[in-house]
Structure 1
């Protein structure tokens, strides 16, 4: 049976804050600062010595990439509001200008910490015979090899650019990385200023020949500095700097676009040319180069960040070497569910037996691919409907849909063109599906379709049976290897009808009049959540056990947060597992003393969205009401997207979610951070005399309850504290 030790662990002691206005904007934590806090937690995993060395390097790369994207989108938007003179405060009371000041202060500290972390990791990598060189540490024997690499693999792609009245400053695209050079003509000592854009089509690091298990890498910019004489013959090197440009990458689409695909193709070109929101430049940049770059890119002093160290730390992901397994996480192969194996891989037979919930990446995402691939080849399948928000470039799901369409089946694909940074890929996928004969629709212009739904209609005897997949994550086989998500498979007729009604809403604007087990935003999802929270308040007032467990990426919607505050004051015990942004302030007397918030950051990226209500019986309980969702509790998800909230009624699946998935997340210590009332996070200490429980390790070692076959046990695995 379940070892529920975690239930005995008390909430953090609530604090009394004098003169705190419980109805004022101070009851909310700022969204942007909360996001930066999450990225600090990611960076701290790069400093965590319990994490393998190259995985720590990966965390550093992720942190750097996250921060760039944050400036591309969120800071760019705030900057536009500030420039337009907008003084409307956010929910926490801060104006755009005030937010920008605080963001830049924290982000500069984060950048410095990233560089400090990089230097520490670089030193540790040296101890493991992995070296990142510079041009001055390249030996004579390597120079011949590097010359060959330069001439044959780099030189043909380069475009050295002089900067003078005849050669105006070139356009530098978003994320563009360049060398700026001061040169001198040998014949008459005439100065020349030049740019050397570093092409992103080439790997950032050049691997040098090595022996005895060593690995040596030279950054591409160092290779270019070694060969300036080939790029600028007749000139002598004087000085240089490196810089990188971040541009506004948000998209705007005309409301009355006649051809949505064509409009997005144009918008993607505009993104490349967005205004510069940040200039990263090396600390030792010569004054003339710095001033010229700032002037030509139209950036102010506060938009310039001097970097003492390596610019573009996101590229360090190239050095996470597969041939050094000793410096990586131990290998893990996702499981094939026992029940699917019992049915010789037949997904439809496994689903017919009973509803099945798979927990990715612990259960392989290949089962979702198999579900659609099997449907494509099954002569009894007559129709497939599928949402696509994000997927891989060579998507096996798109392959299956194309195969089904080419085989004459009715295939409808809802492709969301507004999936940020995946718009171009989604346009390509939609063109390909259309060529195969699928019906491709794009949903609503003013609403993103973020719901994860797939239906397969199969002829069985004289009836048509609908098999449905509801997910919490994207149909992306690559990210599914590292994102934790839930896949719910069912052939329940009411859930199939609900899914079909949602597809009809997306393709024909036919708003569903009645849904049995499903709530959708922007119509009914938020009201359903608020209704369920109110019911817990009623249970608490009636003296019954009242409890809410929820897990998701972000919570910032003010109405939902206020409802949780109201529930806390009524005595409802609330446990939230929020990976990223949290606008709620827990543990404040008279406001949120019954609310606990934790964040889990570890080997896998927590991504599943779950909410459980005690329903008058507390948690865990067989009588709880349990939901999975595609939506975080954010205004965009609840009001401006098409999202799903699916109630789970199958007893085994409910037990899996409550007593396995949520219980393990709440019990986790090894990868957890606990949120304080001021928005800061600290790591908890493991229970006295016990090792820190690690939920990721638990899930890797224990199969999902509803996916077990005839040989599996029927009970929920026991939670034990294992050595991290």
Structure 2
């Protein structure tokens, strides 16, 4: 949605009737997308509530509805709410003196309708479900949880004392990530991408997911304030933002997980220790090309060792492309270490890697601070390939070694 539907929305706003296929104008494609996605969402909810959650319950892992809780459990959750959640909530009301609040991309929010018995006026209020609190609030029974938004909804009387709560329902917005970009005219590619990230934060909303029980009054307010069409609204049965279920995969239940995979070490690299004898890696490669297939072959025993072998005193330079990398990347650490040893290190960091732009900009600056030469991609192209080049001084002169992925 953020990229493809966002692109169609931009074309629709620009009045582009036809681009490639006859009759497939942006508004037609958007209608077809909505028609195709609705049954997918119903199938997703059915899978969750009729298959996944019941099967988890067989192993005593339960996501409980607030109404299933005992009085004692509700009391403990109220204490948790007052201690851990209530102090960081910021309710934002919409009235003539307070415009509709900004809603961040993919954040989970509560839409609340209030009635003031003193003034007899009604208000719409938005409260963000805090992302720095656990989505699944644990109960006293191990592996039993209740959704945070339900804890908040059932304790709104503490937040809105003296007000009558008419309705409260979760919703989530998706913003356009297809921001217009003109690389040919950009004087500074890094500055352009940084500006694009800022624009993406406040880009138009392209999808609104709501609790299917949300009343029409609240839907009308959200649709009007967010400038949405009926096809942009997706009612959801049950829980929203299902990617939070990934957190349950960290539970200590190994019998419910895939068996750990131990990748094979290529025979020619068996027993190699590049930290103790980094030059041995190049001796092996010099005997002939080596083909490895990840994840079946070990990344740490092959590709990672290739970069770590740059610590060899005979290595003069290393050149590398980076598209995406992990938070604790050993590749980044090896490149920084090589630069600190005085080797020539050049890195092409692709700052246009979709949804990893901010992370890659941070990596690029870290590498620059360590003394690496950094290029920020090529205008008009996206560098996706994984290429390394090591220049090593040997008896017969300088020899290049390559890793191509």
- TM-score under structure 2 length normalisation: 0.91
Give the equivalent residue in structure 2 for 1:363: 297
Q: What is the aligned counterpart of 2:4 among 54, 60, 74?
A: 74
Is the counterpart of residue 240 in structure 1 residue 168 in structure 2?
A: yes
CA displacement at 1:342 relative to structure 2: 4.2
Q: Secondary structure at the match of 2:222?
A: helix
Q: CA deviation at 1:113?
A: 0.9
The answer for the alignment partner of 2:333 in structure 1 is 399
> Runs of 4 or more off by more than 4 Å in structure 1?
186-190
Q: Aligned to 2:283, which of 338, 349, 353?
A: 349
Could you give the per-residue CA deviations for residues 626-669 of structure 1, whole angstroms, max 9, x where no partner exists?
xxxxxxxxxxxxxxxxxxxxxxxxxxxxxxxxxxxxxxxxxxxx
The answer to whether residue 64 in structure 2 is matched with residue 133 in structure 1 is: yes
C-alpha separation in 2, matches of 1:163 and 1:411:
54
Measured after TM superposition, the shift of residue 393 of structure 1 is: 2.3
| Candidates 105, 121, 125, aligned match of 2:35 | 105
Residue 115, structure 1, aligned to residue 50, structure 2: no
Partner of 1:416: 350
Q: Give the TM-score, by structure 1 length.
A: 0.52
SS in 1 for 2:9: helix
RMSD: 2.1
Match of residue 324 from structure 1: 253
Q: Give the equivalent residue in structure 1 for 2:95.
A: 164
In structure 1, distance between residues paired with 2:284 and 2:162: 73
Of 20, 31, 34, which aligns to 1:90? 20
Aligned to 1:262: 191
Task: Note the C-alpha offset of 1:210.
Answer: 1.9
Alignment of structure 1 residues 189-338 onto 2, 5 Å: 190-211=121-142, 215-254=143-182, 255-338=184-267
Unaligned runs of 5+ in 1: 1-70, 472-724
2:277 is matched with none
Do 2:31 and 2:231's aligned partners in 1 also have CA atoms closer than 8 Å? no
CA distance in 2, matches of 1:123, 1:417: 43
Deviation at 1:150, TM superposition (A): 2.8
The equivalent of 2:308 in structure 1 is 373
State the Cα deviation string for residues 202-230 of structure 1 (Å, max 9, x = none). Answer: 3322222324xxx1121121121132133
Distance 1:353 1:141 in 2: 71
Q: Is the 8 A contact 2:351 2:377 kept in 1?
A: no
SS at match of 1:195: strand
Contact 1:343–1:350 (CA under 8 A) maintained in structure 2: no
Deviation per CA, 1:140-195: give whole Å up to 9, x if none.
Answer: 34345434543444334321112222222101121122101122346666533211
Shift of 1:77: 0.9
- Partners of 2:82 and 2:306 in 1: CA distance: 49
Match of 1:479 in 2: none
Q: Secondary structure at the match of 2:161?
A: coil
Shift of 1:273: 0.9
Q: How many pairs were matched up?
A: 397
- In the superposition, relative to structure 1, how do residues 266 and 292 fare at CA in structure 2: closer, same or farther (>3 Å)? same
After superposition, where does 1:422-501 map in structure 2 within 5 Å? 422-471=356-405
* C-alpha distance in structure 2 between counterparts of 1:203 and 1:414, whole Å: 37
CA contact (8 A) 2:153 2:168 kept: no
8 A contact 2:65–2:146 mirrored in 1: yes
Distance of 2:187 and 2:141 partners within structure 1 = 57
**TM-aligned CA deviation for residue 298 of structure 1:** 0.8
In the alignment, the residues of structure 2 paired with residue 385 and residue 184 of structure 1 have an alpha-carbon distance, to the nearest angstrom, of: 64
